Amino acid sequence: MRPDNRPIGVFDSGIGGFTVLNRLKQALPTESFIYVADNANKPFGDKSSAQILRINDNIITYLLSQEVKLIVIACNTSSAIALKHDKRLYPVPFVDMLLDGLWFAQILGPRTKVGVIATKATVASHAYEKTLLQYNPHIEVLQNACPKLVPLIEQYAFAPKQTTINNPELEEAIDEYTLPFKDHDVMILGCSHYPHIQKNIELALPSIRVIDPAEYVTKRVKEHIEIMGFSTLKPFSKFCYTAAEATLEANAKHLGFESFERIQLGTVSKS
């Protein structure tokens, strides 16, 4: 097989997709990555479907201009709303947080009670529920929208090794959003921001298995790269962002990006 030295593109609204990228870099140490954080338009979770499609179009057009060989949609909202649109329009393989992140549901036992916490837009799309039941019609799925979590998570500069965060407002929000799931078997983190606070969530749900779909997304990406060809060049990572933001840049530095660039993609209003 010939090597494919083109980079892999990854995108999200901010630091959420870092949880996905961190797993990718560990699993694929020879690959290069271009990460786009469209933080000028964050959070994606409060946008309409039409706005999400425009945001995706802008980001994907940029990544294709950088000649990426594969794009990872490291945002659950974009995966839920825009995946079919993206696959129809753009000549590049996509790996997403739903179809590629939830295939583990096939091995869950009948009547397993599965909880999903996600953004308002993801929950409203019912994409998680539909995808999980598509993989396994014998499980029970309950969703809960968590609009307070992403703004709280975005405030922090995270150490490379995850720890619990001692913040009363965050703890109160987690308790509120996880209350309906106390009798569940599995909790899925349906937003790529949430693994940053996974240890806090596990403390709130000590008897429940908490799953980060990025684990399964990473396996799918590796399968694609094995077919397309691994890179043989010295790996690099480039961080692109759309608005100056000290906390975001601090988190990017923790993840070891070598190159930083502010890019113009266009803003989408909340209304």
Sign of CA dihedral 212, 54, 6, 159: negative
pLDDT score of 46: 85
Are residues 175 and 143 part of one domain? Answer: yes
Question: With 50 as the cut, is the pLDDT of residue 87 above it?
Answer: yes
Query: 41-50, 95-104, 150-159: lowest mean pLDDT where?
Result: 150-159
Largest CA distance in the chain: 53
Token readout for 142 is 């309950």
Question: With 50 as the cut, is the pLDDT of residue 48 above it?
Answer: yes
DSSP state, 66?
A: T
Question: With 70 as the cut, is the pLDDT of residue 97 above it?
Answer: yes
Are residues 181 and 241 part of one domain? Answer: no
Mean pLDDT in the chain?
92
For the segment 20-40, the average pLDDT, to the nearest whole number, is 96
Structure pTM?
0.90
* pLDDT class of 267 with cuts at 50, 70, 90: confident
Q: Is 123 inside any structural domain?
A: yes
Examine the residue annotation and report whether 240 is marked as an active-site residue of this protein. Answer: no
Question: With 90 as the cut, is the pLDDT of residue 118 above it?
Answer: yes
Question: With 80 as the cut, is the pLDDT of residue 249 above it?
Answer: yes
Are residues 139 and 187 part of one domain? Answer: yes
Looking at the structure of the chain, the number of domains it has is: 2
Strand order in the sheet with 140-145: 140-145, 113-118, 186-189, 209-211
Are residues 66 and 12 part of one domain? Answer: yes
**More confident: 38 or 248:** 38
pLDDT score of 161: 59
Q: Is 41 inside any structural domain?
A: yes
The answer to whether the CB of 43 falls within 8 A of the CB of 150 is yes
Question: With 90 as the cut, is the pLDDT of residue 162 above it?
Answer: no
Examine the residue annotation and report whether 75 is marked as an active-site residue of this protein. Answer: yes
Are residues 149 and 221 part of one domain? Answer: no
Token readout for 68 is 């990426």
Q: Which of 70, 97, 150, 191 is catalytic?
A: 191
Give 3-state DSSP helix, strand, coil % of the chain, rounded to 5. 45, 15, 40
Are residues 223 and 209 part of one domain? Answer: no
Question: With 50 as the cut, is the pLDDT of residue 140 above it?
Answer: yes
Are residues 111 and 208 part of one domain? Answer: yes
> Rounded to whole angstroms, how far apart are CA atoms 247 and 238?
17
The answer to whether the CB of 188 falls within 8 A of the CB of 114 is yes
Are residues 191 and 118 part of one domain? Answer: yes
pLDDT score of 157: 62
Task: Let me know if 68 is exposed, middle or buried by CB neighbors in 10 A (0-12, 13-18, 19+).
Answer: buried
Helix (H, G, I), strand (E, B) or coil at 146: coil
Q: Give the whole-number percent of the chain exceeding pLDDT 90.
A: 79
pLDDT score of 241: 96
- Domain range enclosing 226: 8-96+215-262
Are residues 203 and 240 part of one domain? Answer: no
**More confident: 174 or 155:** 174
pLDDT score of 269: 65
Token readout for 258 is 């070598």
pLDDT score of 78: 93
Q: Is 53 inside any structural domain?
A: yes
pLDDT score of 266: 78
Q: Which amino acid is at 185?
A: D
Pairing of β 140-145 and β 94-96: unpaired
pLDDT digits (tens, 9 = 90+) for 190-206: 999 999 899 999 999 99
Q: Which of 75, 116, 240, 255 is catalytic?
A: 75
Q: Is 268 inside any structural domain?
A: no
* pLDDT class of 126 with cuts at 50, 70, 90: very high
> Rounded to whole angstroms, how far apart are CA atoms 237 and 214?
19
Q: Is 2 inside any structural domain?
A: no
* pLDDT class of 271 with cuts at 50, 70, 90: very low
Q: Is 269 inside any structural domain?
A: no
**In this structure, what are the phi and psi dihedrals at residue 247, rounded to the nearest 5 degrees?**
-65, -40
Q: Domain containing 32 — which CATH number? A: 3.40.50.1860
